[in-house]
Structure 1
C-alpha cells in the first residue's frame, strides 16, 4: 500500500502506481470530464492513459511531486490532483480532475487549497500556476478560493486558457499591492 502524501477532511492523495490504470481510464473515459482538457472533448483511449500514468509515476520519482491518485478516506476513487511542469515557461502548474459525480460538492476546492498549502510547505518555488478554459467557471471559482489571482490569457494546445497564480507566503509578504 502506498502511503498518502496529503490528507484533507474528506480526501487522501497518494502517488499513482501501475495498479491505478483502471481508475485513470474510468476518469478519462468520460468526455464531460475531458471537456476543458483538450481541443476536442473525447474520451482518452487506454494507450493515452497508459502513457499519462507512466509520466505521472516518472515525474513523481524525479521531482518529488506529480499528479496524485485522489480518493475518499473510505477508498473510493475521486480523480487526480497535483502538479506538473508547464514546459513553455518552466513553471509548476497545479491541476485537478474529478469524476463527474464528485462535481459541485466542494471536493475541488478542498483539494486545491490543500495542494497550495502542501506545495509551499514542501518546495522552494516562488509561485504556483493554475489555468482553466475561460468557460470553465467552476474551476476558476476553485482557483480563486485557493488564493489564485488572474495573470493572463494565452493559448494552450490550441485552447484559450486563463492563467492564474498564487505567490508563496514569503513572496506575498514582499508583494506590493497594485
Structure 2
C-alpha cells in the first residue's frame, strides 16, 4: 500500500517494521489498551511481529489496513487510524489509537474522517463499522462525530466473548 494522506495536522502513511519503537506504547500502555484486550508484547521484536502480522499482512491480503499517524509538526508517530477487514463480521472496521499526550485534541476524529474519505473515495466501500467496548465513552464520542450510529451489542471472541457495541455508517 503506497498511500499517504495529509490532513491539517496529521500525516497518515503505511506502517513499516522500523516503526516498532514508536509503536510500542500503543500496544503496551494500559491506558491505551484497556478497551482493546489489554497490553500486547513489550519487546521490540514482539512489536515488530505485531506490525508484520497486522497492518503489513493486511496491506498484502486486502490492499488496505491501518495507517501510521504522524504529527506533521514533528514527524512523530503518534498512533494509528484506518481500516481493518474483520473476517468474523465480514466487514471493514474503522479503528484508531493515539498516544495519551495527544488525546482530547480532536485528532482521532481528524484521522478518522481522512480514513473514511479513503474508504469511500479510493476503495469504494459502502459501509464501515467500529467495534467499541461499552465503557469507552471517548471512542463513542469520536464515531458519533464521524456520523456513525449504534447498531447492536454482541459478544466479541477476540476479547474473550466480552460484549462490544457495533457502530456503523453507510458511505454511499
Instruction: Tell me the TM-score normalised to structure 2 length.
Output: 0.89
Deviates more, 1:96-105 or 1:82-91: 82-91
Contact 1:113–1:145 under 8 Å retained in 2: no
Residue 92 of structure 1: aligned partner = 92
Distance 1:149 1:160 in 2: 17
When the two chains are superposed, the root-mean-square deviation of aligned CA atoms in Å is: 1.8
Distance 2:51 2:40 in 1: 15
Residue 163 of structure 2: aligned partner = 160
Residue 35 of structure 2: aligned partner = 36
Q: Residue 42 and residue 19 in structure 1: after superposition, are their counterparts in 2 closer, same or farther (change >3 A)?
A: closer
Distance 1:132 1:95 in 2: 9
Q: CA deviation at 1:52?
A: 1.9
Q: Residue 48 and residue 90 in structure 1: after superposition, are their counterparts in 2 closer, same or farther (change >3 A)?
A: farther
Q: CA deviation at 1:48?
A: 4.5
Contact 2:149–2:168 under 8 Å retained in 1: yes
Q: Deviations over 1:60-102 (max 9, x none)?
A: 1332211111111120221011111111121111100100111
Residue 6 of structure 2: aligned partner = 7
Q: Deviations over 1:112-160 (max 9, x none)?
A: 1111111100113220111211111110010010111111011222222
Which runs of 5 or more structure 2 residues have no equivalent in the other structure? Answer: none
Deviates more, 1:134-143 or 1:76-85: 76-85
